Amino acid sequence: MHEPELHDLSDDADYAASIQQGSASMTRSDSRRLSSTSEPEGAEVVYSKENVAIHPTQYASERISGRLKLIKQGNSLFMTWIPYKGQSSNARLSEKDKNLYTIRAVPFSDIRSIRRHTPTLGWQYIIVVMSSGLAFPPLYFYNGGVREFLATVKQHVLLVRSVEDANVFLVNDFENPLQRTLSSLELPMAVSVANVPSTAAVGSPSIAGQERGESDKSSSNFQQNGRQGQKHHDPARDISIQVLEKFSLVTRFARETTSQLFRDGFIDGFTPNEGRKHGQFSPAYQHITPSNDPPKVPDEVSVAPDPVEFDKLSLVWGKPRQPPLGKEEWATFMDAEGRVMDPKALRKRIFYGGVEHNLRKEVWTFLLGYHAYDSTYPEREYLMSVKKAEYETIKRQWQSISPEQARRFTKFRERKGLIDKDVVRTDRSLSFYDGDDNPNVYLLRDILLTYSFYNFDLGYCQGMSDLLSPILYVMRDESESFWCFVSLMERLGPNFNRDQSGMHTQLFALSKLVELLDKPLHHYFERNDCLNYFFCFRWILIQFKREFEYEKTMRLWEVMWTHHLSEHLHLYVCVAILKRHRSKIMGEQMDFDTLLKFINELSGQIELDATLREAEALCICAGENGEACIPPGTPPSLPIEDGLVYPQLEDDIL
């Protein structure tokens, strides 16, 4: 069977029709050349389309319509999309909300691919994927025009149909391997191919749209293009910030749409365990090479700047963090009888801001599952009284053991001895646990001993005191701390399995997520025998407890406990931290021992808010493909009922 030439779109019915129709289907007012009063001198509008929309939510009434343009200046082609001003009647979408989605002067030298989707029912849309792997929200063409758009792009840049998916068109997919490598690395002043410059300045993401979406400030975006190589201007960073800010605002509807691309074989149709050749739909950090060749790290790699210093210039991912949930706002989520009216909205609010410390005692009981969201004040009071009595009953079991019994009870002596050693080393720098004969240290010990009798199979393992300590610090009540800890261990208990099955499952999932979201880094770990990811063991075992300050640890935990976006946000946090330091890891050619030392030394140096935003963006980008990387029942998902939840060695009985 004759295969069409890779660089030819003549077999495309849409493209053929567009050639026949020419520019007739374009809006009459969208001339190909506008006067200098509309565009900067030397700029030419080669394509313009009205009523191209973005859907921030699943509701059609909340779509944001605007004007899509392709603008040529010199040898560079830019894409813009500006929302109409004052058009939406929906009160929930302010002008500021709409302007956040503005696409301003994106050069095609920074675009990796365009995917066209034509559903059986509904409107055509495209998704533009950047060289970094990130994507803009889908652009819906309510009045048609996708074929004209692609035809116009083809006239000005090299457009290649993907051999894996006929609906994916690769931008500047060079046949010359050297040039493809230079382009993918986005090296300054790289040799241009097909008249596409390697760098281009991008306008600020701030918006100042005019009536019907036109901006009187767009001229500066294009005029900067002629001033390449400025010492203090980083166009790659600018475009990344702009793309990430837009992408972070894609809500559930858009995420489901982009996730559909994976089910449809987006870009190349590979599964999470297979290579993806063309523009991975996932965030990449700075120097990812989306080429057709297998990723390869040279023997000598330039060392990236110090990560601590680089934080000041790091990319902004995800939605901005909000102030923590306060008492007055918390009251708005409750009805008169104390029920939480919208648990999903509450969890989302906490995800983006956490909880004020004086509210944690009440809110954590819901997040951990000790109290049901639909319970009333009297029901919770009754439950606490019942649970307090139950706790005292369990506690008396070990308190009643006489010295003679203990002498014949090896497991009890061993576990008690281990607990006694651990509690005096747990968070003693906090005044709450500081000092000799501190009653809170004794409470910590009593709760852990009681838990070892409550959960005979699991007992006690080192690390559990780290998980209990913040709970007791917040709850300030022995019984409530115990039951909140029980709820937490329902999800994290497998972390302490004797066969380490829970940890291995999470480390395996982490490996697959890194492979999905940063294939070059994954291959680097593979070449250096680091695929077991044991250097992340402590992060996962005690949920980053020793990586952040105490207050930040509590903030991180309550964010993860919301299970907003994913039950496994902690794995995306791991990926975010690794990606933040990927340049140093790969640049210094760290082996396992060096990497383990480096990871441990990050303790206290990780910025929480930036990491959470990056983890959120990674989770959104991974979508359903990311979930497919995580086996069912992986902690902190509730264990699958398949016999023993906590498998033990044959002689490990209490």
DSSP letters spanning 54-108: E-SSS-GGG-EEEEEEEEEETTEEEEEEEEPSS----TTS-HHHHHTT-EEEEEG
pLDDT of residue 394: 97
pLDDT of residue 304: 34
pLDDT of residue 96: 60
The candidate with the shortest Cα–Cα distance to 25, out of 186, 178, 149, 177, is 149
Helix (H, G, I), strand (E, B) or coil at 498: coil
Token look-up 């794995």 returns 571
Interval 598-645: pLDDT, tens: 999 999 999 999 999 999 999 998 989 999 999 988 999 876 554 444
Residue 116: its H or E element? strand 111-117
Is residue 223 within 8 Å of 195, Cβ to Cβ?
Answer: no
Interval 529-586: pLDDT, tens: 898 899 999 999 999 999 999 999 999 999 999 999 999 999 999 999 999 999 999 9
Q: What percent of the chain has pLDDT over 70?
A: 65
pLDDT of residue 455: 95
Residue 19: its H or E element? helix 13-21
pLDDT of residue 137: 80
Is residue 590 within 8 Å of 528, Cβ to Cβ?
Answer: yes
Q: Which residue has the higher pLDDT, 510 or 29?
A: 510
CATH 2.30.29.230 domain position(s) in the chain = 43-175
The candidate with the shortest Cα–Cα distance to 317, out of 348, 284, 347, is 284
Tell how far CA 252 is from the center of its chain: 14
The candidate with the shortest Cα–Cα distance to 379, out of 360, 365, 393, 368, is 365
Interval 425-460: pLDDT, tens: 999 999 999 999 999 999 999 999 999 999 988 999
Taking the CA atoms of residue 156, residue 161, residue 167 and residue 172 in that order, the dihedral angle to the nearest 10 degrees is: -50
Cα separation of 339 and 333, whole Å? 8
pLDDT of residue 506: 94
Cα separation of 382 and 405, whole Å? 36
The candidate with the shortest Cα–Cα distance to 651, out of 425, 403, 414, 463, is 414
The pTM for the full model equals 0.55
Could you confirm whether domain 501-629 is CATH 1.10.472.80?
yes
Could you tell me which CATH class the domain 376-496 is placed in?
A: mainly alpha
The candidate with the shortest Cα–Cα distance to 281, out of 138, 467, 118, is 138
Token look-up 């906490």 returns 350
Residue 378: its H or E element? helix 377-399
pLDDT of residue 290: 36
Taking the CA atoms of residue 182, residue 183, residue 184 and residue 185 in that order, the dihedral angle to the nearest 10 degrees is: 50
Interval 98-119: pLDDT, tens: 666 788 888 998 898 898 888 7
Q: Which residue has the higher pLDDT, 565 or 249?
A: 565
Cα separation of 376 and 354, whole Å? 23
Cα separation of 617 and 612, whole Å? 9
DSSP for 393-439 reads: HHHHHHHT--HHHHHT-HHHHHHHHHHHHHHTTSSTTSTTT-STT-H
The candidate with the shortest Cα–Cα distance to 18, out of 113, 171, 159, is 159
Is residue 316 within 8 Å of 241, Cβ to Cβ?
Answer: yes
DSSP 8-state code for residue 237: H
pLDDT of residue 287: 35
**pLDDT tier at 60, thresholds 50, 70, 90:** low
The candidate with the shortest Cα–Cα distance to 567, out of 628, 653, 634, is 634
The candidate with the shortest Cα–Cα distance to 146, out of 103, 173, 115, is 115
Above 80 in pLDDT, residue 280? no
pLDDT of residue 611: 94
pLDDT of residue 39: 61
pLDDT of residue 179: 41
The candidate with the shortest Cα–Cα distance to 79, out of 67, 64, 68, is 68
DSSP 8-state code for residue 188: T
Interval 594-606: pLDDT, tens: 999 999 999 999 9
Above 70 in pLDDT, residue 135? yes
CATH 1.10.472.80 domain position(s) in the chain = 501-629
Interval 461-497: pLDDT, tens: 999 999 999 999 999 999 999 999 999 999 999 999 8
Q: What is the largest CA-CA distance in the chain?
A: 98
Q: Which residue has the higher pLDDT, 453 or 24?
A: 453
Structure tokens at 612: 């959470």
CA angle 600, 605, 609 (to 5 degrees): 120
Taking the CA atoms of residue 609, residue 351, residue 287 and residue 626 in that order, the dihedral angle to the nearest 10 degrees is: 160
Segment 365-379 shows an average pLDDT of 97
CATH 1.10.8.270 domain position(s) in the chain = 376-496
Indicate the CATH number for domain 43-175: 2.30.29.230
**pLDDT tier at 499, thresholds 50, 70, 90:** confident
Cα separation of 389 and 135, whole Å? 55
